[in-house]
Amino acid sequence: MDITRIGVVGAGQMGNGIAHVLAVAGYEVLLNDINQDALDKAVALIDRNLERQVSREKISADEKAAAMARISTTMALPDLGKTDLVIEAATEREEVKQKIFDALLPHLEPHTILTSNTSSISITRLASRTDRPEKFMGFHFMNPVPVMQLVELIRGIATDADTYDACLGVVEKLGKTAASAEDFPAFIVNRILVPMINEAVYTLYEGVGNVNSIDQSMKLGANHPMGPLELADFIGLDTCLAIMNVLHDGLADTKYRPCPLLTKYVEAGWLGRKTKRGFYDYRGDTPVPTR
């Protein structure tokens, strides 16, 4: 299947990064969001990030201009019906994703492939509620999308070989590497990564170490580029909690019980960098640990 036009649902942190890399790779991109301000901010951010790539001689000024020209925006979800591939990158809540797919279905071309950028939700379950489970799969980019080289491709139980091959072709055209994952809770990366973050929060909760000592220990003792609590703030504590809940519910194992302190931070609205407070306070010039 020849994919040339791709719809991206959601203009947030993941959606704008996905639109960025698709446009640079030569795809026509239609970016959708329910908020015009979010769309405007996403396009402005893509422009700034592309300009940074120009300044670092990663791409030329002409390539930047061509990429920006390939991106268009819409608040009307049905407009995405004429694309060859849809990548849903909305918030990590199953009911939100399901409403998006329900609204899209009447407008899709017969050949259009549906995918979700979900980091943990069952692809098989999402696919089963559509009219094309064989043309549905997980297309999970890592954050930040322009920098990270991996894309997880997750087949639902009904996903056919042609759909997988078409999505694999997109990943290869982006110059990224695909990891094929089975459709079990949180797939590969987050099945390993987020429980580690949750364990770091337990280490904080139980007073084994403070924010600074935990992050410093993993950076200098395990050679991690970011400490687990710093990384949690970058990902978003609400997203980390959502993934832990998916693991706990889906696998019914107590080792995946979300730490009560993680829940408390989310209840407080301290979600990390995006709200200026999480395990660090980002309201000043330098991040300051909150515990």
Catalytic center residues:
119, 140, 152, 190
Cα distances from 219 to residues 19, 34, 159, 208, in angstroms, run: 32, 39, 39, 17
Q: What is the C-alpha separation between 14 and 19, in angstroms, rounded?
A: 9
Q: What is the C-alpha separation between 39 and 192, in angstroms, rounded?
A: 33
Q: What is the C-alpha separation between 215 and 158, in angstroms, rounded?
A: 41
Check whether 99 is labelled as a binding-site residue: no
Q: Is 201 exposed, middle or buried (0-12, 13-18, 19+ CB in 10 A)?
A: buried
Check whether 284 is labelled as a binding-site residue: no
Check whether 14 is labelled as a binding-site residue: yes
Check whether 97 is labelled as a binding-site residue: yes
Check whether 149 is labelled as a binding-site residue: no
Sign, Cα dihedral of 54, 58, 63, 66? negative
Cα 51 to chain centroid distance, Å, stands at 23
Question: With contact defined as beta carbons under 8 Å apart, do 97 and 126 qualify?
Answer: yes
Please state whether the peptide bond connecting residue 144 to the residue before it is cis, i.e. omega within 30 degrees of 0. yes
- Residues 6+ positions from 237 with CB-CB distance below 8 Å: 262, 265, 266, 270, 271, 272, 278, 279
The CA-to-CA distance between both ends of the chain, in Å, stands at 52
Check whether 223 is labelled as a binding-site residue: no
Check whether 252 is labelled as a binding-site residue: no
Question: With contact defined as beta carbons under 8 Å apart, do 41 and 31 qualify?
Answer: no
Check whether 15 is labelled as a binding-site residue: yes
DSSP codes joined into one string, 50-81: HHHHHHTTSS-HHHHHHHHHTEEEES-GGGGG
Check whether 82 is labelled as a binding-site residue: no
Length of the chain: 291
Check whether 274 is labelled as a binding-site residue: yes
Question: Which residue numbers belong to the known binding site?
Answer: 10-15, 33, 92, 97, 119, 143, 274
Question: Which residue numbers belong to the known binding site for NAD(+)?
Answer: 10-15, 33, 92, 97, 119, 143, 274
